[in-house]
Amino acid sequence: MAQRFGGKFSPDGATGTTPAPVLKPPLVGRGRTSILMALSLIPVVTAFFQGGPIGLAMNLLAGAAIFGAGTVTQEGLKAEAAWAARKVARRPAVPRKLFGAVLSGIGVALAVSNGFDGLIAGVFYGIIAAALHVTAFGMDPMRDKGMEGVDAFQTERVARTIEEAEGHLDAMEDAVKRARDREAEMRVARLGQKAREMFRAVEDDPRDLTPARKYLGVYLMGARDATVKFADLYAQTRDATVKADYFALLDDLERGIDTKRETLLITDRTDLDVEIEVLRDRLKRDGLPIGE
Amino acid sequence: MKSTALRKTAFAALALLIALAGLGVLGGGGL
């Protein structure tokens, strides 16, 4: 992803130790889906030299199907990347890549058929195209991940809450761009990074959802609304005090998230201690030697 | 996990198939 210049030696660049925000990795396979979309132009162009309205219509439909295959597959790749990035994830509701394969098949079948005569040959070519598509792009993730051994209902809640929280973060990152202030963008990106670390922690242990819920919901929502207001106001006024106030809010949030994460880890530790204590008591009562 | 080489080859074949089908090189008559 491109990023504007900035850093230590740039005007109003960060001084000293601000760590660079982690960027989202580029989507794997995007180039190939774009090629697929570009290829859909060929049947559209040749459609006009088919010498008949049926051929024209079929070739146009073929172009549409192949373009659709590219778009749907790209969405499928996005969904797969999101699935792979999370420790706890439901499988995508719609198998998009599979639909993409079907659309490729239909597209090729229509392009080959060229009227109704070649329909049987077209179907065969279509099947080959669908098979190649599946080989090229792979299947969709078909199973839920990280759902074993934990309460399904609870994990579901975690997945849903984090999805919402991600939405708030995205909206924030989007809104702050309107402020046209690099520093603010960096700060929001850093907050996003911190928040995402917390998401992963909650995914690791769904019991943390209840204590972390405020941060995932109300606070992030508030931060998003504040960001929208800040961006609008700051874009007009360039008021330094507004910026300082906004940064103070972000600071508070970041600090809050940090402490919350620490307390979450401490509760985990206490839980473990209790488990160990109980088991050791039991062993002692049963007369087994323990190292004390 | 399928190897990337296989994926790339399959994609190249798919692209070729779409291109040839679009250009009307494939098909033509019935079976």
Beta partners for residue A117, in sequence order: none
Question: A183-187 long-range CB contacts below 8 Å, 24 or more apart?
Answer: A183/A12, A183/A14, A183/A243, A184/A230, A184/A231, A184/A234, A184/A243, A184/A246, A184/A247, A186/A6, A186/A14, A186/A18, A186/A21, A187/A247, A187/A250
Nearest Cα residue in chain B from A103: B18
pLDDT tens per residue across span A28-77 = 888 899 999 999 999 999 888 887 888 889 899 999 999 999 999 999 99
Enter the ipTM: 0.84
Among A2-11, A150-159, A210-219, A262-271, the minimum mean pLDDT is found in: A2-11
> What is the spatial distance between Cα A72 and Cα A107, in angstroms, rounded to a whole number?
13
- Using an 8 Å CB-CB cutoff, list chain A residues near B21: 43, 62, 108, 111-112, 125, 129
Q: Do A138 and B2 touch (CB under 8 A)?
A: yes
Closest CA to A44 of B19, B16, B30, B31: B19
Examine the pLDDT at A17 and tell me if it is beyond 70: no
Is the pLDDT assigned to residue B30 strictly greater than 60?
A: no
Out of B6, B7, B27, closest to residue A125 by CB: B27
Average pLDDT over residues A253-266: 84
Whether B15 and chain A come into contact, CB under 8 Å, resolves to yes
Cα A61 to Cα A109: distance, rounded to the nearest angstrom:
10
Nearest Cα residue in chain B from A65: B18
What is the per-residue pLDDT across A92-133, written as a single tens digit (0 to 9) for each? 888 999 999 999 999 999 988 866 777 888 899 999 999 999
Do B21 and A108 lie within an 8 Å CB cutoff? yes
C-alpha distances in angstroms, A248 versus A102, A186, A244, A251, B31?
A: 52, 14, 6, 5, 74
Tokens of B7: 């994926």
pLDDT surpassing 50 at residue A144: yes
Amino acid A232 reads D
Strand-pairing partners, residue A213, are none
Spatial contact of A181 and A10, defined as CB atoms under 8 Å apart: no
Is-contact A91 A123, C-beta < 8 A? no
Q: Do A119 and B30 touch (CB under 8 A)?
A: yes
Cross-chain residue pair A132–B11, CB shorter than 8 Å: yes
Mean pLDDT to the nearest integer, A153-157? 77
User: What is d(CA A161, CA A159) in angstroms, rounded to the nearest whole number?
Assistant: 6
B22: contact with A, CB 8 A cutoff: yes
**φ/ψ of residue A145, rounded to 5:** -115, 140
Provide the whole-model pTM. 0.61
The reported pLDDT for the residue numbered B29 is 41
pLDDT in tens, A190-239: 899 888 888 888 887 777 777 788 778 888 888 999 999 999 999 898 88
